[in-house]
Amino acid sequence: MLCAVTAHGHSGDLGRFREFVEESFKVVGAPSVGDFFPALQWVDRLCGIDAAHARLQARRDALVGGLVDDHRRRRSKAGGGHTTSVIDELLALQEADPEYYTDNVLKGIVLVLFSTGTDTTALTIELTMALLLTHPEALQRARDEIDAESPRLCPVGPLIPAHEAMEDCTVGGFRVPRGTMILVNSWAINRDADLWDSPTEFMPERFLDTAKPTPMMPFGFGRRRCPAEGLAMRLLGLTLATLVQCFEWDAGEGRAIDMAEGAGLSMPMATPLALVCRPREFLKGLLSAST
């Protein structure tokens, strides 16, 4: 979708998308006074988290609505039928079933796509590169295979989104009444010493033992798990394998990589990763041949 934005000359929109994604995760992940003290919910509505949500949503709605309208005008001029982006596909669905695929439904789907399918993938790539650079021996092994260690040690979604218990049940020996909102702490599960050997160590080779089941849930579990899991894993593997295989990486002389974690709905690096890269010898030949 973002590629479709820039392809049609909306380079400014791409910057706004990045800004909205970053701001969305900060606002959604921030604590709310009203959640802890219900009597103070009016503070959130007036000048707190609720007010920030409302302002952000108004801006996001205007941007996404403009993109949908822009694609609709282009489809109208082209006579429809030809699809080049996710928005075009959604507009085709709207033409087939206008009662269900209203503009609000279309904008909601687009917002979900750019908020859940962009920041998480980018942060996972950044964190994996940071882990590899702080463990050069693992970086060398990773030239042959990229595996699942970084989502375990540094999950960008430390808490799996809330689920509501539809009926009274018992989970792990705990009674869960109907209507209870449940949050799964993926970060804690991934570092549980009862489940993992040396849980705080970065050891990608632990996943080479396919006979041992891994209790990881970076995409949730069951019928409500993330529908983009297949796409995310393919994108992560391809991108990381390309970066590791084609370039030599360095943090720069005298610079150390800070693995401290930031705050928000996702878990970014507190200090964004900045690296120096050089093409490997085999790539230099390919680059010179293409120029």
3-state secondary structure at position 144: coil
CA distance 30 to 77: 44
3-state secondary structure at position 181: strand
CA distance 136 to 20: 35
CA distance 87 to 114: 12
φ/ψ of 144, rounded to 5, equals: -95, -30
Q: Give me the amino acid identity at 286.
A: L
Among candidate residues 127, 130, 122, 123, the one with its CA nearest the CA of residue 249: 130
Contacts of residues 222-225 at CB distance under 8 Å and 24 or more positions apart, as own/partner, are 224/163
φ/ψ of 163, rounded to 5, equals: -125, 145
* Annotated binding-site residue? 226: yes
φ/ψ of 14, rounded to 5, equals: -65, -45
Cα-trace Rg, the chain: 22
Residue 3 CB contacts under 8 Å (≥ 6 apart), including other chains = 85
CA distance 229 to 240: 16
CA distance 132 to 120: 18
* CA dihedral of 271, 273, 274, 279, whole degrees rounded to 10: 170
Q: Which residues are annotated as a binding site for heme?
A: 226
Q: Which residues are annotated as a binding site?
A: 226
